[in-house]
């Protein structure tokens, strides 16, 4: 499949209509009235020109409910008026020499850098292959907790920020299947600070790193999740089987795998560029970069992990981008 076919159908339709609009504006005849050559200029503002290409560029980025030729033409006229207003402001700013002010020069350079970097990333990801049907099938098969054996979990938890002194007892109580209320009473008796909560979570809302362990629990069972010096006692109060078929899951899996490949390609290229370039940190940034350089890291060291939680949303031990992609991809399946 052509790599550019990853574009959604709506932008494709808009692009096609924009192209038709260009032709209708510029190629109705070889000559305009009065014998002048047909032009791609839509309007002139003083000495500046606004082209049909500029209109089409904005049009291609504008979501339209109605993509008929008439609606696109109406939208193009509105865009032209906005571009005229913009050009008037640009001319006024230039006349007042605002384009030479340090703030504007800095903003223009930042915008230029952003556009160039985005263009390079887009060129890089244009070569990323889409996942095959075999890739999708394999992912579906390898993640039964997300799909074929997907469940809705009713979860209760107790979070203990400093659990060192009671960790062994928490493990023991969990293995014995003690009720969550008994665990809470025990912690109160020991004067240990803790928090708690309960929530209902579907499989895709659970951190991917935690999901296999949660999926292995039967209703009424508990487990202890350790993180740094803290711990979370998590009890599965109940669950409901709500499987997702391979056909239903296919669009979400395909998008997730494609996004992951893009992320991997970008990360690999950034790593290559860093290794091929001489990067020298200066001043206070030199001191901050020293620990990262000693460990071979390419960025600042991450903050210490907090105790993971499924009810508070602080899933610090999850593979966050991967989890987010899966959750977005499967939102429509609930």
Instruction: Please check the confidence at residue 303 and state whether its pLDDT lies above 70.
Output: no
Confidence of residue 293 (pLDDT cuts 50, 70, 90): low
> What's the confidence (pLDDT) of residue 289?
72
Domain spans of the chain, in order of start: 3-28+39-100, 135-273+305-334
The strand pairing partners of 158, in sequence order, are 196, 233
Mean pLDDT, residues 35-53 taken together: 81
Q: Is the pLDDT of residue 239 over 90?
A: yes
Q: How far is the CA of 59 from the CAs of 56, 70, 72, 90, 262, in angstroms?
A: 5, 14, 8, 21, 26
* Residue 177 clears pLDDT 60, i.e. is over it: yes
Mapping DSSP to helix (H, G, I), strand (E, B) and coil, where does residue 27 land?
A: coil
Given a cut of 70, whether residue 176 has pLDDT beyond it is: yes
3-state helix, strand, coil in the chain (%, to 5): 55, 15, 30
Residue 65: pLDDT band with limits 50, 70, 90: confident
Give me the pLDDT at residue 287, please. 77
Task: Lowest mean pLDDT of 27-31, 33-37, 301-305, name the range.
Answer: 301-305
Tell me the C-alpha distance between 190 and 221, whole Å.
24
Instruction: Look up tokens 């190629």; give the residue.
Output: 27
Q: Is the pLDDT of residue 316 over 60?
A: no
* CB 198 within 8 Å of CB 155: yes
**pTM value?**
0.64
Q: How far apart are CA 28 and CA 274, in angstroms?
A: 52
Tokens of 210: 């935690």
Tell me which of 140 and 303 has the higher pLDDT. 140
More confident residue, 55 or 18: 55
**Mean pLDDT computed over 115-126:** 95
pLDDT tier, 39 (very low <50, low <70, confident <90, very high otherwise): low
pLDDT tier at 60 (50, 70, 90 boundaries)?
confident
Which is more confidently placed, 149 or 298?
149
Q: Is 20 helix (H, G, I), strand (E, B) or coil?
A: helix
DSSP conformation letters of 93-139 = HHHTTGGGSHHHHHHHHHHHHHHHHHHHHHHHHTTPPPPPHHHHHHH
Rounded to the nearest integer, the mean pLDDT of the chain is 80
Tell me, what's the pLDDT at 288? Answer: 74
pLDDT surpasses 60 at 33? no
Query: Is residue 47's pLDDT more than 60?
Result: yes
- Answer yes or no: is pLDDT of 254 > 50: yes
pLDDT of 333: 34
Residue 253 has what pLDDT? 96
What's the pLDDT score for residue 155? Answer: 94
Quote the pLDDT of residue 138.
97
299: pLDDT strictly greater than 70: no
Q: Is the pLDDT of residue 231 over 50?
A: yes
Band of pLDDT at residue 285, cut at 50, 70 and 90: confident
């Amino acid at each position: 499949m052509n790599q550019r076919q990853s574009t959604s159908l709506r932008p494709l339709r808009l692009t096609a209509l924009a192209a038709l609009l260009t032709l209708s504006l510029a190629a109705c005849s070889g000559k305009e009235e009065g014998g002048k050559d047909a032009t791609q200029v839509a309007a002139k503002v003083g000495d500046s020109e606004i082209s049909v290409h500029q209109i089409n560029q904005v049009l291609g980025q504008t979501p339209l409910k109605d993509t008929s030729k008439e609606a696109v033409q109406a939208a193009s006229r509105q865009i032209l008026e906005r571009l005229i207003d913009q050009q008037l402001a640009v001319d006024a700013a230039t006349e007042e020499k605002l384009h030479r002010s340090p703030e504007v020069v800095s903003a223009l350079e930042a915008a230029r850098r952003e556009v160039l970097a985005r263009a390079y990333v887009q060129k890089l990801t244009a070569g990323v292959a889409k996942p095959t049907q075999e890739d999708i099938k394999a992912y579906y098969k390898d993640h039964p907790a997300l799909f074929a054996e997907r469940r809705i979990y009713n979860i209760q938890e107790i979070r203990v920020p400093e659990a060192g002194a009671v960790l062994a007892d928490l493990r023991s109580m969990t293995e014995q299947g003690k009720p969550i209320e008994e665990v809470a009473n025990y912690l109160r008796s020991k004067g240990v600070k803790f928090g708690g909560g309960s929530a209902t979570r579907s499989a895709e809302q659970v951190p991917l790193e935690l999901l296999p362990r949660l999926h292995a629990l039967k209703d009424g069972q508990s487990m202890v999740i350790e993180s740094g010096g803290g711990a979370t006692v998590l009890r599965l109060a109940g669950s409901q089987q709500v499987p997702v078929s391979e056909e239903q899951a296919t669009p979400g899996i395909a998008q997730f795998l494609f996004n992951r490949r893009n992320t991997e390609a970008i990360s690999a290229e950034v790593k290559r560029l860093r290794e091929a370039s001489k990067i020298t940190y200066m001043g206070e940034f030199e001191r901050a970069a020293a620990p990262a350089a000693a460990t071979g890291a390419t960025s600042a060291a991450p903050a210490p992990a907090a105790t993971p939680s499924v009810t508070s949303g602080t899933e610090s031990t999850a593979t966050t981008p991967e989890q987010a992609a899966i959750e977005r991809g499967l939102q429509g399946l609930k």
